[in-house]
Structure 1
Amino acid sequence: MSQLDSRLAELGLTVPATSKPVAAYLPAVTSGNLVYTSGQLPMIDGVLPATGKVGSTVNADDAAHYARQCVLNGLAAARSAIGSLDRITRVVKVVGFVASDPSFTGQPGVINGASELLQDIFGEAGQHARSAVGVAVLPLDAPVEIEFVFEFA
């Protein structure tokens, strides 16, 4: 078992198989020593656990939980590109999109679900630059979508 798999097991988590793209793109690509993931939806076994806007049909706490699933899916995408998650040396950037009711302004709190999990998994190397953006709608009416940039050796 890899070091990262052991850490995930301690947290009661597993990285799923890579989700199949829903359009014409790759789950992740590398450039130099960086791996860039495509936007990750909170798919679980190929199904969205919820749809709709945060602040109306989806509450912020649930959306933060879905952001955590985006992390696991992002790790799966990274693994598909670099072979082993133990190669990741740093989380560089997180870009989170939250499908938001017009009155909802808690996007940073939703994306904290992802940021905090990355720090739990990677420790100091999980601290990263980040954007949290509210949008009108996301693919498949997902409540949250997140992109990741990881450094690897």
Structure 2
Amino acid sequence: MLEESIELRLEQLGITLPEASEPAAKYANCVIVNGLLFVSGKGPSGKPKGKLGQHFTTDEGYQFARSAGIEVLAVLKDALGSLDKVKRVVKVQGFVNADPAFEEPHKVLNGFSDLMLEVFGEKGMHARSVLGASTLRDNLPVVVDSIFEV
């Protein structure tokens, strides 16, 4: 039995990938080394600005992290031609622009992690770390960088 394609899975989830966003400065969107694809940090679409726990709730942060995941998927598709070339999500690191009293950065990053599991199934299970940050570029609420086996 053939595995379901990732493109079909995205369609079933109601996800339409945008064009891959351009890097915010002089660096590559992604780099492939020895079968690993490293995606530069991506934020949510629409470029919202503000801090979790001050301007945004945990639930809003979850949606921002999910949106950043969709941006990452667009970069993967642009780089690989097909998301079916992803063998596994390896590592995710999230940075949450948070008020110092905000204690739920891990719940925010679940938006990205849940998306990877929905899209890639068991291949979406990954190692992860998340950090609360006092500031992020352009005052984005979330930035996520990630590593994939291809």
- Same fold at TM > 0.5: yes
Counterpart of 2:140 in structure 1 is: 142
Counterpart of 1:21 in structure 2 is: 23
Structure 2 portions without partners, runs of 5+ = none
Question: CA–CA distance in 2 between the matches of 1:15 and 1:36?
Answer: 19
Identical positions, percent? 39
User: Which of the numbers 8, 31, 52 marks the counterpart of 2:10?
Assistant: 8
Structure 1 portions without partners, runs of 5+ = none
Counterpart of 2:63 in structure 1 is: 65
Question: CA–CA distance in 2 between the matches of 1:39 and 1:139?
Answer: 10
For residues 2-151 of structure 1, the aligned pairs below 5 Å read: 3-43=5-45, 47-48=46-47, 50-151=48-149
For the residue of structure 2 that corresponds to 1:39, the secondary structure is strand
Provide Cα deviations, 1:36-65, integer angstroms capped at 9, x if missing partner.
00000102xxx31x2111001011101100
TM-score for both structures, normalised by structure 1: 0.92
Question: CA–CA distance in 1 between the matches of 2:29 and 2:37?
Answer: 10
Provide Cα deviations, 1:88-138, integer angstroms capped at 9, x if missing partner.
010000100000001001010000111111111111110000001100111
- Could you tell me how far 1:25 is from its partner in structure 2? 0.8
TM-score for both structures, normalised by structure 2: 0.94
Q: C-alpha root-mean-square deviation of aligned residues, in Å?
A: 1.1
